[in-house]
A and B are shown apart, each in its own frame.
Chain A
């Protein structure tokens, strides 16, 4: 397959799973990809250019390491300017962040969640949603949270990334009221036929999640339908289930919800439910 700076890591891993080892060898930062959870979380949202920035290396390093595995580089891509994204370290820290009063700063440390193998996304979104209009969120993490930057940007958040060490990254998020853009319209024509991953990206930042694996029948169905009754119109519900819920599907249809299902096998089924 042809590589470019914009190629997503997930596409590379899908084309050849052996690429995981090659990428992990480029920078110790990419060891994270060995963790299935982080791989799922990051690989679909991070392009080669993003990854190079996170890992402190060059896009060319990827091309070089992946070439033996049969990946080729399009001519235009090889010469493209890879310096478009400014490295976080070169940007000046905004003055107001340095003078921030403690009561305006909400600190969230997700390093333990990452180390423990759980997805901190929900935790972060909860913190973002409860953030007062003039507040700032400080996210303490082990890497630059590239996917999150894009998601929160769409929600009108500005960010500043401060790399304090190989495993310590501070990211600040604050709302710039001037930047708030209306949420992109999601019509059925756009979402129909879309793959699970595409839908996930389309609803990025507008997803509520629930894990019903530990519930006995019919509690998963009750929980999901109750959550859906509370779900704002343009948001989606991300469900982690043990099986494709046969009794739920007709109920969703009757209530005007569409569902996209991803069966990861071995008792792991993901559903993305949204209003038609």
Chain B
């Protein structure tokens, strides 16, 4: 792999284990979902829901984002990743921390096991943030994407810190407020600070790129950055010290930021040269549409209106589901098939291009499976939301079954790509080549 060593691209063993672990996590979480249909009838502070949420955000979403970022950072920032060794340690810490945390929550052992898991995860976030910072420092040109990614990694660190404090609070109860109070803080810093900022930063670059569209003016992104961060900082400050009724206002700031991001994408899409939309991009558009659901629900949950308590607690659950199993999962299900095939193809074929007949990235996965994956996912998500709102466990179970099918289809395609090897390449015979 002579060429790969001279490019900015990291080695494959830095990136690919993340995709494998994420695919397995998705299968595990959908199986756990099958056994958790009873958990959606009450409060969100429930051991099974805590397990599900953390497997989703850590093992599935964060794991995949870490892997994809190690590949994308060099492209976005135009420099090599600071340390591949650090990335491997981060993977080990994140993977072991996630497994331990899931066990601790599922059996609700909130003592030493939970604390160890929390510390492992915080260490993973710390190493990741160091790697991102040091990489960004080497970037020849500072871009708005770098702002988003670096800030997002800082918020991830804050999310982890709050998580560690809560893990110890179970045993020592040193925090002044109720546990759930900090859980809201922890969840929202994670959602808006880590996931949302990161997705805006990476998405604003990748989505126009996949559509072959122009993006010249980043003004909207600048304001999106200011709005999301402003809303989040105000929310944290208020939530910790003031307890005012202005929370919907902060939510509105974040929503305005997301709106600007979507507007930016819409404008870019107008200039696209590519008219046919493949399955990966279709799923990405579904994810962006699903983003509207939590944007509406955030006002409902933050205004704590005069809705009946039972409906309100269902809405809390739907709000969480719409972020983690809705927008985030939908986006990953789509973007995996825009990034992973290219990475695999690059490592397998870059030295053969032009010399042998090589397949293309889109030939590395089975399109029929992907189509069914997308359909099953959407059906599963709708059933799940309906089941939770209507408090009907059989409907939730149907949704969970759809999710399991989705996960198996996804994992089949992902492992097929991960195990792909170049073989039986036929050399080109050029008619008038004068080599």
Given contacts A216-B210, A222-B360, 15 further A-B contacts (CB under 8 A): A215-B212, A218-B345, A218-B346, A218-B360, A218-B361, A219-B360, A225-B354, A228-B354, A229-B435, A233-B434, A247-B7, A250-B3, A250-B6, A253-B3, A254-B6
A225-B354, A226-B353 known; A250-B216 Cβ under 8 A: no
Question: Is A221 located at the chain interface by the 8 A CB criterion?
Answer: yes
| Number of B residues with CB within 8 Å of any CB on chain A | 34
Residues of the B chain whose Cβ atoms lie less than 8 Å from the Cβ of A232? 434
Q: Which residues of the other chain, B, contact A228 by a CB distance below 8 angstroms?
A: 354
The answer to the question of B419 belonging to the interface, with a C-beta cut-off of 8 Å to chain A, is: no
Check A213 for interface membership: any CB of B closer than 8 A. yes
- B contact residues around A229 at 8 Å (CB): 354-355, 428, 430, 433, 435
| CB nearest neighbor in A for B5 | A250
Chain A residues in 8 Å Cβ range of B428: 226, 229
Take A218-B346, A225-B354 as given contacts and tell me if A251 and B212 are in contact as well, using a CB distance cutoff of 8 Å. no
Q: At the interface, yes or no: A267 with Cβ under 8 Å from chain B?
A: yes
Asked whether A247 and B9 contact (CB < 8 A) given A218-B346, A266-B214, A267-B214, the answer is yes
Chain A interface size, under 10 / 10 to 19 / 20 to 34 / 35 or more: 20 to 34
- B4 within 8 Å of A by Cβ? yes
Say yes or no for A249: interface residue by CB 8 A criterion: yes
Instruction: Please judge, given known A-B contacts A221-B353, A225-B354, A254-B2, whether A214 and B9 are in contact too, CB under 8 Å.
Output: no
Which residue of the partner chain A has the closest CB to B432?
A: A230
A225 to B428, CA, bound (A): 12
CB of B273 within 8 Å of the partner chain: yes
Q: Give the nearest-CB partner of B353 in chain A.
A: A225
Q: Select B346's contact among A215, A247, A249, A254, beta carbons within 8 Å.
A: A247
Number of cross-chain contacts by CB at 8 Å:
71
Q: Contacts A218-B360, A254-B3, A267-B214; is A246 near B354 (CB within 8 Å)?
A: no
Q: Could you tell me if A216 and B8 are in contact, using CB atoms closer than 8 angstroms?
A: no
State A266–B216 Cα separation when bound (angstroms).
Answer: 7
Contacts of B51-80 to chain A: CB distance below 8 A: 74-75, 78
Cα distance, A222 to B354, chains bound together (Å): 6
Q: Does B267 reach chain A (CB closer than 8 Å)? A: no
A-B residue pairs in contact (CB < 8 Å), sample of 28: A213-B212, A214-B273, A214-B274, A216-B274, A218-B342, A218-B345, A218-B346, A218-B353, A218-B360, A221-B353, A222-B354, A222-B360, A225-B353, A226-B354, A228-B354, A229-B430, A229-B435, A230-B430, A230-B433, A232-B434, A246-B7, A246-B75, A250-B4, A250-B7, A251-B351, A254-B2, A266-B216, A267-B214
**Which residues of chain A come closer than 8 Å to B214, judged between CB atoms?**
266-267
User: How far, in angstroms, from A252 to B214 measured CA to CA in the complex?
Assistant: 26
B358 interfacial contact with A, CB 8 Å: yes
A-chain residues with CB within 8 Å of residue B75 when the two chains form the complex:
246
B350 touches A (CB below 8 Å) = yes
Which among A222, A249, A251, A267 is the interface contact of B358 at CB below 8 angstroms? A222
Q: Name the B residues within 8 Å of A222 (CB-CB).
A: 353-354, 358, 360
Q: With the chains together, A176 CA to B340 CA distance in Å?
A: 56
Nearest Cβ on chain A to B360's Cβ, whole angstroms: 7
Tell me if A208 counts as interface (CB < 8 A to partner B). Answer: no
**Residues A214 and B342 in contact, CB atoms below 8 Å apart:** no
Contacts of B342 in A (CB 8 A): 217-218
- For B350, the closest partner residue in chain A by CB is A251
Q: Contact: B273 with A246, CB < 8 Å?
A: no
A53 part of interface (Cβ distance < 8 Å): no
Closest 6 CB pairs of A and B: A225-B354, A250-B6, A250-B7, A229-B354, A250-B3, A225-B353
A242 at the B interface (CB under 8 A): yes
The distance in angstroms between the C-alpha atoms of A249 and B74, with both chains bound, is 14
Chain A residues with Cβ below 8 Å from B212 are: 213-216, 242
Interface string of A236-247 (1 = CB under 8 A from B): 000000100011
Interface residues of B in 327-380 (CB under 8 A from A): 342, 345-346, 350-351, 353-355, 358, 360-361
Bound: A217/B362 CA distance, A = 10
Encode A203-218 as 1/0 by CB contact (under 8 A) with B: 0000000000111111
Is B354 touching A213 in the complex (CB atoms < 8 A)?
Answer: no
B346 surroundings in chain A (CB, below 8 A): 218, 247
- In Å, the complex CA distance between A228 and B430 comes to 11
Closest Cβ of chain A to B369, distance in Å, is 21
What separation, in Å, do the CA atoms of A229 and B274 have in the docked complex?
A: 27
CB distance from B4 to the nearest CB of A (A): 7
Contact with B along A252-276 (1 / 0, CB 8 A): 0110000000000011000000000
Inter-chain contacts of A221 with B (CB < 8 A): 350, 353
Cβ proximity bits B392-435 to A, threshold 8 Å, 1 near / 0 not: 00000000000000000000000000000000000010101111
Neighbouring B residues of A242 by C-beta, 8 Å: 212
